[in-house]
């Protein structure tokens, strides 16, 4: 966290409406609205994958979250925007998205960033090979030891 970040967003693993990454993305939108986004990036590649899968307009979600944050209302407005989009997917599609997201391994340019961050936060955790697990370690969450490439 840097000086403007006051809290971590929820874990990629935490589900909102049965979807991984969605709670984290909403938290980052709230951080943008509050001016506390710090080092985090709203609309990062993992957010973009979520948006693409569920037909979520990232700007619209940010606007809904911003309105909720400024008006001190609660989560119903956020859920009202997202839930109909999520409900368009079958349970099998949701499970596939969750599995793919939680198994997301770095490739290409992101591999160097991944390896640098892992060397910084947990150099002994070469079993950590996915972005969701590495983000949890970086944010001080417990990540079970992985064996057999899982």
Residue 81 CA: distances (Å) to CA of 20, 76, 84, 95, 108: 17, 9, 7, 21, 34
Is-above-0.85 flag for pTM?
yes
Confidence of residue 74 (pLDDT cuts 50, 70, 90): low
Give the tens place of pLDDT for each residue, 100-114.
999 999 999 899 999
Give the tens place of pLDDT for each residue, 9-58.
999 999 999 999 999 999 999 999 889 999 999 999 999 999 999 999 99
The secondary structure element, H or E, covering residue 20 is strand 19-20
Distance of CA 61 to the CA centre of its chain: 14
Does residue 16 come out as left (phi exceeding 0), alpha (psi in the -120 to 50 range) or beta? beta
Confidence of residue 1 (pLDDT cuts 50, 70, 90): very low
């Amino acid at each position: 966290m840097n000086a403007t970040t006051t809290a971590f967003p929820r874990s990629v693993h935490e589900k909102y409406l049965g979807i991984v990454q969605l709670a984290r993305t909403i938290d980052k939108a709230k951080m943008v609205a509050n001016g506390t986004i710090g080092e985090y990036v709203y609309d990062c590649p993992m957010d973009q994958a979520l948006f693409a899968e569920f037909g979520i307009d990232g700007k619209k979600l940010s606007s809904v979250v911003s309105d909720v944050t400024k008006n001190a209302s609660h989560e119903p407005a956020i859920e009202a925007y997202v839930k109909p989009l999520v409900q368009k997917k079958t349970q099998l599609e949701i499970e596939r998205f969750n599995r793919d997201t939680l198994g997301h391994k770095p490739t290409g340019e992101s591999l160097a960033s991944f390896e640098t961050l892992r060397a910084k936060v947990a150099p002994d955790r070469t079993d950590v090979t996915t972005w969701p697990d590495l983000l949890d370690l970086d944010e001080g969450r417990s990540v079970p030891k992985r064996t057999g490439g899982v």
